[in-house]
Structure 1
Amino acid sequence: MRKLKNSELERLNVEAFKKTKKIPLVVVLDNIRSLNNIGSVFRTSDAFLIEKIYLCGITAQPPHKEIHKTALGATESVAWEYVEDTLTLVEKLKSKKIKVIAIEQVENSTMLQNFSVKPNQKYAVIFGNEVKGVQQQVVTASDYCIEIPQFGTKHSLNISVSTGIVLWDLFKKFRY
């Protein structure tokens, strides 16, 4: 086996990415404090053809050196918008018939592997603050709460890891 060179990967350029059909999914970042996590979410969203990222509350916005360090240019390919209040955004998304999913550990959550996407339905997935998680009022307003199963001693995963797991799982469910 031989490692492939970047030139052999046949990746899209930014213009082609913007024209490519995306999966019917948007990402909402609810008060994410780490700029490296924000950049990682951009990069993962690029990889899995996410329509848009909403940056809410204290979540920093590009351009920023620390976001760019992990995004590696994905802030140019993935559409994004800043919205000050996450709950206001959730209400707006729901008014557009978008199903809202909080990624959080809650009573009666749906385990990620048990969640099924519906054809012709658009979704928004919300990832919360590194310490406090998704705000309770946002959880309450959500249509679904999905939990990533964990089997070790720790209570949570880093937001960039959670994003990778959830977006890959939902991408597969939309595409395959």
Structure 2
Amino acid sequence: MRKLSMDELGRMSVEEFKQSEKNKVIVVLDNIRSMHNVGSVFRTADAFLIEAICLCGYTPQPPHRDIHKTALGATETVDWLYYENTIDAITDLQERGYKIYAVEQAEGSISLEKFVWQPSHKIAVIMGNEVEGVASELLPYCDGCIEIPQLGTKHSLNISVAAGIVLWKLCEQRFLG
């Protein structure tokens, strides 16, 4: 066994990425404070051909070297929008036909392994602040909540890890064919 070289991986160019058919998924970042987390979500969004990221509230915006440090160029491939507040992002996305799901532990949340989504439908997932999670006032605007099951003593995951898990689940059908 050997590692594949960069040439063997056959990655697409920025232009090819821009032209490719995206998964109908938008990530909404609700008041994320860490530039490294924002950069990591950009990189994960690139990996899974996510349509776009909505940066809301005080979530840092590119360009910034600390975002770039973890995004590794994904801010050049993944489209992003800024909204002063997350409710405006939700309203805009709903008007464009997206179902909105918060990634949050809440009454009636759907465990991720039981969540069913049709890739032909548009979905937006809200990832919340590192300390507070998704703001409570946003939940009434959502079509539901998705919860990542956990077995240990901690009750949450880092937002960049949670985004990777949820985006994989939403996009796995494309990989499994």
Q: TM-score range by the shorter chain?
A: over 0.9
Hey, what does 1:103 align to over in structure 2?
103
Matched, 1:33 2:33: yes
Whole-angstrom distance in 2 between the partners of 1:133 and 1:155:
11
Instruction: After TM superposition, list the pairs within 5 Å mapping 1:52-67 onto structure 2.
Output: 52-67=52-67
Matched, 1:51 2:34: no
Q: Quote how far apart the aligned CAs of 1:118 are.
A: 2.6
Matched, 1:126 2:126: yes
Secondary structure of 1:40's aligned partner: helix
Q: Quote how far apart the aligned CAs of 1:119 are.
A: 5.0
Hey, what does 1:164 align to over in structure 2?
164
Normalising by the residue count of structure 1, what TM-score does the alignment of the two structures yield?
0.97
Sort the Cα spacing of 1:117 and 1:10 in 2 relative to 1 into closer, same or farther, 3 A: same
Q: Quote how far apart the aligned CAs of 1:145 are.
A: 0.3
Letter in 2 for 1:167: L
Q: Quote how far apart the aligned CAs of 1:58 are.
A: 0.6
Q: Quote how far apart the aligned CAs of 1:173 are.
A: 3.6
Letter in 1 for 2:130: E
Secondary structure of 1:155's aligned partner: coil
Hey, what does 1:76 align to over in structure 2?
76
Q: Quote how far apart the aligned CAs of 1:167 are.
A: 0.3
Q: Is the 8 A contact 1:98 1:123 kept in 2?
A: yes
Whole-angstrom distance in 1 between the partners of 2:53 and 2:149:
24
Task: Spell out, residue by residue over 1:112-142, the C-alpha distance to the aligned partner (whole angstroms, 9 max, x if none).
Answer: 0101113531000110000001011112210
Q: Is the 8 A contact 1:117 1:173 kept in 2?
A: no
5+ long unaligned stretches in structure 2: none
Task: Spell out, residue by residue over 1:37-88, the C-alpha distance to the aligned partner (whole angstroms, 9 max, x if none).
Answer: 0000000000000000000001000000000000000000000011111011
Letter in 2 for 1:96: R
Whole-angstrom distance in 2 between the partners of 1:136 and 1:62:
27
Identity %: 57
Sort the Cα spacing of 1:54 and 1:133 in 2 relative to 1 into closer, same or farther, 3 A: same
Whole-angstrom distance in 2 between the partners of 1:3 and 1:74:
23
Q: Is the 8 A contact 1:110 1:147 kept in 2?
A: yes
Report the RMSD for the aligned CA atoms in angstroms: 1.0
Letter in 2 for 1:27: V
